[in-house]
Amino acid sequence: MSLPCLPVFHVPVVVHTPVHSAVGAVLSYACALQLAPGTLVRVPLGAREMLGVVWDGLATPPDGVALRPIAAVLDGIAPLDGHWRRLVAFAARYYQRNLGEIALAALPPQLRDLQPEQLSRRLRRPAPSDAVVQAAAPRVALTVEQEAARAQIANQAGPFLLFGSTGSGKTEVYLRCVQEMLAADPSAQALVMVPEINLTPQLEERFTARFGVASVVALHSGMTNPQRLKGWLAAHSGQARIVLGTRMAVFASIPQLRLIVVDEEHDPSYKQQEGARYSARDLAIWRGREQGAKVILGSATPSLESWYASRPATTDDPGGRYLRLHMPSRIGAGALPRLRVVNMNHQPRRTVFSAPLLAALQERVERGEQCMILLNRRGYAPVLHCADCDWKSDCPHCSAHQVFHKADRTLRCHHCGFTVRVPWACPGCGSPDIAPMGRGTEQLEEQLTALLAGVHRPDGSPVRVARIDADTTRAKGALEAQLAQVHAGEIDVLVGTQMIAKGHDFRRITLVAAVQPDGALFSSDFRAPERLFCLLMQAGGRAGRDAQYIQTQGSRSEMWLQTFHPEHPIVAALRQHDYTAFAQQQLQERRDAAMPPFAFQALVRADARTQEVAQGFLSAASEAAHALGLPGLGDHVTLYPPVPLAIQRVANVERAQMLLESDSRPALQHFLAAWQPVLLALRSQPAHKGLVRWLVDVDPLAI
């Protein structure tokens, strides 16, 4: 237990001060000890006591101000090293956030609340004794493509883009690279990231089977606070050799980090959408370079930014900074699924499942195979509608509809969470004739169950239809239980959203169908075609992953696509499984339009009580930037007028945004840094009294 410090040394400490407040993130405190940078301490701030991190540099307290003493030192934990502090400092600078916000959010929540005495008791608990990595012998030999990729990673510096088709065995390459790295260095550690929590159980199972339970820890927001603290301490102390996690794991303290793997690197879930809007994938690249760790980005459908960054050198182009490794073949000589396109213009009106698709589903189920239906919209229907007065189930607090959930007879807003019971009659005119419009996964599950009611499995038992989405997996352990049923063959037809379309290794699924993908074909968002293509390619990749099973069944895996636009270029690229052609076409369009990765963007967003206040703040910020002649403005940085967001109001807060574009990343960063104090000053002006918050989003994924 540490005693309070007596005032002798001036110590700079990073604390989590309010975002955009006038209080700096690095404050000066007094202590009788000369504490090393990275030391965790408890310090008073106002009437509260909170966790802080001793930072680099010398404290320079204001003249005549008596410094408050540090309350306690958490000396049971080794100081956070310079690599971690530099990562946090870079993230704060690049993403225009408060240093303390990044630093303290990167630490386990329970660590922020524990007193030194409580922490000491926690640290006295015995650690597992089998912490030495004992790698089990690999179960399968590497293919020629896997071996070539492994050798390149072993002999080159990277970063690497592992471009492997779905089912090509990228995970085995990760396992071998981790195994070789750990064997070569007895203290080395690895970080393996996946985009979503639901992908961590199967990854953790494979890594613990290979390296042992004591060597592997997970870090993600689905864990309890004690679990997160235990995993973080194991990584920080070096006891855990392998850290698995979602985007938050990029900030884990891993002192001996030598290898970083970012699986499904294209996934937008790596971009934080609340608070500090960092990209874990991009920070992984920066951290690997700064800490001397190799970085592997893996995907069957890489982001266009990573694809462009891995372009080969030509006579006119020095090439990208990543090394692209290609694994086009599936394990076991399995074929990629054949695309079957159904032109819905030729189907009866309001058809949900075309007759050919239904026949194909029935055939697969009767042979004992599994099918997957993709619809990226949960609930029973997006809206309830009255045909008499045109009433719709709008959310009273948002510019959005309340979604109809039939299972519990509720209308639920997926933006603010406001929930009401379904009315018995139209609230507008009293008509009892209110009906659902559109479809969600809940409705698809119900309709499929009815349409396939007469279909039986090979053993004579009736077909079993199940649904996996955010509604069915709320309870702890629900997702794992449902996935176990799928893997065990207890589910014949699986209906779900994008959470089942990527990363999962379903061995018996031979047919995947996307029933309503057209909504994203003509979106105003320039990234929509990329997201849709990736989603459909990834979903199709769940089919036919076990070549031996397909051969035994005597069938071929299929991806069915029901669309009103069968001639769309995305459909043509999907038909050929040709990501390369799709990427080239999209990059050419982006180049012609000066869009990322050929330009750099940031958004400034304002939330206020009224739309006038939100846009007024942004307009004033733009005018101040021009009046002050901030660096780069006009030459390299363009400011566009403020506009409302697509969903303008959420939880009674109006939202507006303003886009910045630049042909130079350094110029954009220089401008944003100079603009920050201007934005802070505007925030306190009486004209912007109704402003709730403002934020800067660097490298936004949605505009």
- Asked whether residue 361 falls in the same domain as residue 404, the answer is no
CATH number at residue 323: 3.40.50.300
Helix axes 82-94, 665-683, angle to 10 degrees: 70
Q: Are residues 606 and 625 in the same domain?
A: yes
Q: Is residue 260 part of a domain?
A: yes
Same domain assignment for residues 484 and 527: yes
- Which of 682, 703, 702 lies closest to 619 in space, CA to CA? 682
Domain boundary among 438, 465, 487: 438
Which residues define the annotated binding site for Zn(2+)? Answer: 386, 389, 395, 398, 413, 416, 426, 429
Question: Coil, strand or helix: which one is 486?
Answer: helix
Residue whose token pair is 């996307």: 514
In a domain, 2, yes or no: no
485 domain residue, yes or no: yes
Integer Cα distance of 301 and 529 in angstroms: 12
**For residues 43-70, b (16+ Cβ closer than 10 Å) or e, as one string?**
bebeeeebbbbbbeeebeeeeeeebebb
Same domain, 549 and 573: yes
The amino acid that residue 580 corresponds to is T
Contact assessment for residue 31 and residue 70, using Cβ atoms and an 8 Å cutoff? yes
The per-residue pLDDT for 127 is: 55
CA 573 to CA 517: how far, in whole Å?
15
Q: What sign does the dihedral 181-185-186-190 (CA atoms) show?
A: negative
Residues β-bridged to residue 435 = 385
Beta bridge partners of 234: none
Check if the beta carbon of residue 640 is closer than 8 Å to that of residue 691. no
Provide the pLDDT for residue 84. Answer: 97
pLDDT computed for residue 62 by the predictor: 67
Q: What are phi and psi of 164, to 5 degrees?
A: -120, 135
For 409, other C-beta atoms within 10 Å of its C-beta total 10
Residue 57 lies in a domain: yes
Q: Identify whether 416 is part of a domain.
A: yes
User: How many Cα atoms sit within 13 Å of 566 on the Cβ side?
Assistant: 11
Residue 189 CA, distance from chain mean position:
23
Q: How far apart are CA 577 and CA 571, in angstroms?
A: 10
Give every residue of the chain whose pLDDT is below 50, as ranges. Answer: 1, 3, 129-132
Q: Which of 490, 473, 177 is nearest to 325 (CA)?
A: 177
**Bridge partner list, 40:** 53
Confidence at residue 1, expressed as pLDDT on a 0 to 100 scale: 43
Q: Is residue 1 situated within a structural domain? A: no
Same domain? For 452 and 530 the reply is: yes
Kindly state whether residues 159 and 280 are assigned to the same domain: yes
**461, 462, 386, 459: which is closest to 425 by C-alpha?**
386
Task: List, in order, residues 6 or more apart from 278 with CB less than 8 Å away.
Answer: 91, 95, 102, 247, 250, 271, 272
At 96, list the tokens.
Answer: 């225009």
Of 364, 360, 383, the residue nearest 515 (C-alpha): 360
**Which CATH number do you get for residue 647?**
3.30.70.260
- Residue 447 gets the label, from left (phi > 0), alpha (psi -120 to 50) or beta, of alpha
CATH number at residue 85: 3.40.1440.60
Same domain for 547 and 398: no
- By CB atoms closer than 10 A (0-12, 13-18, 19+), residue 477 is exposed
Residues 366 and 386 in one domain: no
- Residue 426, phi-psi category: left (phi > 0), alpha (psi -120 to 50), beta (remainder): beta
Residue 138 lies in a domain: no
**Residue 313 carries which DSSP code?**
P
Question: Which domain covers residue 321, as residue numbers?
Answer: 144-331
Contact yes or no for 320/308 (Cβ under 8 A)? yes
Domain count, the chain: 5
Are 349 and 368 contacting, i.e. CB atoms less than 8 angstroms apart?
Answer: no
Q: Rounded CA gap, 519 and 298, in Å?
A: 28
Q: Are residues 96 and 71 in the same domain?
A: yes
Cα separation, 450 vs 223, in Å, equals: 38
Sheet with strand 72-73: strands edge to edge: 26-31, 9-14, 48-54, 40-45, 72-73
Domain boundary residue among 541, 558, 592? 592
Three-state DSSP at 474 gives coil
Nearest residue to 174 via CA among 263, 44, 269, 113? 263
Q: Where does a domain end: 544, 560, 592?
A: 592
Contact partners, residue 474, CB within 8 Å, separation at least 6: none
Measured between alpha carbons, how far is 599 from 590 in angstroms, rounded to an integer? 9
Q: Which value, in Å, is the radius of gyration of the alpha carbons in the chain? A: 27
Q: Which two tokens stand for residue 247?
A: 């985007």
Q: Is residue 182 part of a domain?
A: yes
Are 536 and 553 part of one and the same domain?
Answer: yes
How far from 4 is each of 53, 482, 533, CA to CA, in Å?
A: 16, 51, 58
Which residues partner with 434 through β-bridges? 386
- Distance between CA 322 and CA 161 in Å, rounded? 6
Residue 171 shares a structural domain with residue 292: yes
Q: On the CB side of 573, how many CA atoms lie within 13 Å of its CA?
A: 20
Mark whether 444 and 552 lie in a shared domain: yes
Residue set of the binding site: 386, 389, 395, 398, 413, 416, 426, 429
Residue 5 pLDDT: 54
